[in-house]
Structure 1
């Protein structure tokens, strides 16, 4: 009986699948469509919809990878026309990775992705044309935030009726977590990203800021920061093509309007996506990236339709140009292995700009009904279109020459774990060695006065480098800088890089002295040390003449002397990761 029963069930399921594939689009309506574009799916509804799509369409696979801070696993939907889902086997195809609901109060991409996957699966001709493209979708990246629904936290946004919250289960903004990786979400995303190695990445958002006519704006990987042929390709071919195609669909686009408290008719500067952000992170691995930013004051229905159009055009672009993109990425990876100089901080070039047509609204000031003081407003009855300056050129503000390798002491396991998670080759040393290395000392830095995503971020970091003979202990790690991910290595391990591990407080212990002195005890030691070291006394007297405040501060003078003595600990302000400028004998 059992042997007959199982085939019968399978036959019934097969018939059911065939019938389901014949269903009309109307019968597969999403919540967005059923509510005429006023509501977005909940996390549970969205996953259930994808599970149903995958059940009836073998070209779609829904899987879970890793976990998130809220306890649920991270879902990944893969659409592959030939039903090949193995990460290694799809590397010969063009891969698009779409990330939704990193800010769940901005759900446009969630609903757009559900409808787009459904429409492709039900259009057999379109599906067959994508034999060389794989579409990967993270439906809900911030699951904790998606489940924390409300109707009030997006005070500046028009619809939907209810939505998720920006903070995740740790109350982190996950679009600031791509380097520090404080969340389980990010650790799972890293696995997905490196397993897929996507050619194009899109992170879907809704904007804040100024008012203007556009439904869709976009933040592209900053082209100069992306660099080389890949950066030129994005600026001169990919983005112009996307703008043209979107315009043909009725959605004129402009770069993300990074303007607050004014009308952007005098021009604006391109947003710089440092590695803490999704598109800045993906840049470190030579992936072309966009952050879509639909406009907050446009209806949810229109915003979602614009997001659908953007994702749709991105898929078509890869279908037609994917081989060229993959070849450019491969060429760039090889170039990065050989690259000698690496920028670690950027600044806008205010002497260069592109003139663009901008569609805005006239603005002005009127008396506030609340404060009775002048307030900004935009007059939607007075649209304008004018040429403005768009400052989209960036130059390196700080650069470093790459070393042969970095040495990481065994005590900094979190750093080692993050490097390995990001597919960086890390080798452990089994025998102690003495080598010549460059050692950084933190000369100066500033720290944010308020907490920023669970950290007090350092910035304006200045360093001094000193050559030293150092001991590499058994158990320490060496990271050679000859990898396709050299940019990630350099920008995380150089302490004065904008989003370095040092900037994110991974090494704050070196900023605090562990041993000190009692002034009344050290007075006698200091006097004796000055007798034995007249050059230190000479330096002390010179400093007293130059600095009256120092001359009047007895304790400061003791500190000055203390730092010249062997009593002063070597670890204070000494950055623990060392640079090997040349290949050592033991390698």
Structure 2
């Protein structure tokens, strides 16, 4: 009997030792490598029927993007009547806290070390930026306190993947979108580490901007769900604060909630009414502590979703009622400084002193002088540009790159079966500005303005009608409306229309220009009026000929004509 008991205890100890993660086996300041991470999850999937590991689409590194799923009933159908939480790790592999925390989290679910959810499925992407993870080093995060080695922010093609969710330049993004629509998460968590100010908190968090989430769903997340999860952390003596959206200055005067536009992970997932958060552990805190609070946040979130999954799913489904044809939809936002709340903040005294390097004033924080005080927090934004939601968009089949992305995002397309004339609203690009510096592979546009007119357009058999009243309505509006911050236009998908393809030779066009204004009294009157009111125009022969050309039938209609159309 004693021998049998000894054998049982020894076997249990061996199994427990085998299930330790590389992080747990280390000194608390070492993160898991990509190879170790994948092998560990394969081992879990082999040992536990509640764990399934799948290789999905490829990444820019050439390696597949994996997902690891925990399901208590061993049913890995994501459409069953359960909530789904999708956890993303290592989008910036120099911020590996979530990688190590998720390995322990999935293990503890499989072994029932923590309460196993019966109504919630957990899906984790082990490491999203595989190329960056393989580019392992110890120096690229100069401001960060551990771990000893980690991955690099840029992926295999040097993209920052947390700027690529709408434009989808990387295979990683395209594979993520397939995963996202396959699992259809109710809650999305994207694990990070912060940069910026110094303060007492180990854990900060970006809760996706509630107004962009929309309606009762957004209010529920802001006022109920997120605060309750933070309270659970506090019960475990984990203090938290909203992501400290301050860089290069002190947070004492207050700060605003981060506005996560669709280029970012939660900005993208919000377009499909998924609740979303970005845990941001503090870079200067010990690595072991950062991994621990990331784990506890995922646990608290899971427990809340498990308890409230029916309400969450109901609110998520009902949220589509806020985006009906004829309603207004905000494309651009600015901070509403009139709406401010007082928030308790635990910081360190910040001040300025002469730099020993530059001799100029530098910012520093004195950790020997902690403080707790009320500061201003701004969580509300106001719309500065709105459009009316159309019933359809019409997209010519020539715009195949856009159509590919729509299909990737589960947007239903209807093919036009015969050549037909449709009355549509069309946009002319009136003005825009372009970045003078490259940003994630683009010289993006901003401050875009359009003029609108209603006209009848001949569309061809094989062109596409896209109904807005579908699950991806917000995705359609944010990508297809040129004035939206992260529209396809602003991300350079339509730059060919900005270049004039045909021109005129002045010595030839002179005679034709005279004929044009002679034949049209209206054109001549407008021309003469412009010369009278615009001195620079009156002094420029080139500008005058160009004006007549642009106001004639000889000027190409494709120039600055946005090739996607709206039906009211």
> Shared fold (TM-score greater than 0.5)?
yes
Matched, 1:343 2:330: yes
- In the alignment, the residues of structure 2 paired with residue 222 and residue 20 of structure 1 have an alpha-carbon distance, to the nearest angstrom, of 49
In the alignment, structure 1 residue 304 sits paired with structure 2 residue 291? yes
Find the aligned partners of 1:47 and 1:430 in 2 and give their Cα distance: 48
Match of 1:47 in 2: 38
TM-aligned CA distance change 1:246 to 1:361, over 3 Å: same
Residue 251 of structure 1 corresponds to 238
Alpha-carbon deviation of 1:578?
Answer: 0.6
* 8 Å Cα contact 1:21-1:56 kept in structure 2: no
The answer as to whether partners of 1:337 and 1:484 remain within 8 angstroms in 2 is no
Change (3 A) 1:553 1:339: closer
Residue in 1 that maps onto 2:88? 99
Q: 2:439 aligns with which of 445, 449, 452?
A: 452
How far does the alpha carbon of each residue in 1:343-378 deviate from its partner, in whole angstroms, 9 at most, with x for none? Answer: 111111110011100111111111111111111111
**Structure 1 residue runs without a partner (length 5+):** 1-17, 582-587
1:280 to partner: Cα distance: 0.5
Structure 1 position 550 matched with structure 2 position 541? no
Q: Confirm whether residue 108 of structure 1 aligns to residue 74 of structure 2.
A: no
SS in 1 for 2:475: helix
Give the deviation of 1:403 after TM superposition. Answer: 1.1
Question: Structure 1: how far apart are the matches of 2:11 and 2:268?
Answer: 40
TM-score of the pair, normalised by structure 2? 0.96
Match of 2:54 among 37, 40, 63: 63
What SS class does the counterpart of residue 488 from structure 2 fall into?
Answer: coil
Q: TM-score, normalised by structure 1?
A: 0.93
Show the counterpart of 1:392: 379
Further displaced range: 44-53 or 517-526: 517-526
Tell me how far apart the structure 1 counterparts of residues 344 and 262 of structure 2 sit (CA, whole Å).
30
CA contact (8 A) 1:337 1:483 kept: no
State the secondary structure of the residue aligned to 1:126.
Answer: coil
**How much does 1:138 deviate?**
0.1
Instruction: Tell whether the 8 Å contact from 2:331 to 2:485 is kept in structure 1 after alignment.
Output: yes
Write the mapping of 1:415-434 to structure 2, written as runs, cut at 5 A. 415-434=402-421
Question: How far has the Cα of 1:177 moved from its partner?
Answer: 0.7
Tell me how far apart the structure 2 counterparts of residues 386 and 516 of structure 1 sit (CA, whole Å): 65
Deviation track 1:19-71 (CA, whole Å, cap 9, x = no partner) reads 98875544422221222211101100000011111111111011111111111
In structure 1, which of residues 156, 165, 169 is the aligned counterpart of residue 143 of structure 2? 156
Matches within 5 A, 1:339-418: 340-418=327-405
Instruction: Quote the Cα distance in structure 2 between the aligned partners of 1:324 and 1:500.
Output: 32
SS of residue matched to 2:323:
helix
C-alpha contact (below 8 Å) 1:21/1:57 kept by paired residues: no
* d(CA) in 1 for partners of 2:332, 2:507: 45
Describe the superposition over 1:254-308 as per-residue Cα deviations: whole angstroms up to 9, x where unpaired: 1111111111111111110001101011111000000111111111111111111
Deviation at residue 514 of structure 1 after TM alignment: 0.6
Give the superposed CA RMSD.
1.6
1:284 aligns with 2:284: no
Structure 2: unaligned runs, 5 residues or longer = 1-8
How many angstroms apart in 1 are the aligned matches of 2:180 and 2:10? 35
Quickly say closer, same or farther: Cα 1:54–1:433, change in 2 above 3 A: same
Q: Hey, what does 2:6 align to over in structure 1?
A: none
Match of 1:7 in 2: none
**How far apart in 2 are the matches of 1:276 and 1:519?**
45
Give 3-state SS (helix, strand or coil) of 2:166's partner. Answer: coil
CA distance in 1, matches of 2:548, 2:258: 47
Match 1:206 to one of 190, 193, 202: 193
- Alpha-carbon contact 1:544-1:550 (below 8 Å) kept: yes
Alpha-carbon deviation of 1:247?
A: 1.3
Pair 1:338–1:536, CA change in 2 (3 A): closer
Q: Deviations over 1:122-142 (max 9, x none)?
A: 226723xx1211100001101
SS of match in other structure, 1:44: helix
Task: Please give the alpha-carbon distance, in whole angstroms, between the structure 1 residues aligned to 2:256 and 2:369.
Answer: 24
Q: 1:573 & 1:21 partners in 2: Cα distance?
A: 70
Aligned positions, number:
560
Structure 2 residue matching 1:66: 3-state secondary structure: strand
How far, CA to CA, are the matches of 1:19 and 1:544 in structure 2? 96
In structure 2, what is the Cα distance between the partners aligned to 1:23 and 1:279? 40
Select the residue among 72, 76, 79 that pairs with 2:67: 76
Q: Take 1:123 and 1:131, find their aligned partners in 2: how far apart are those partners?
A: 12
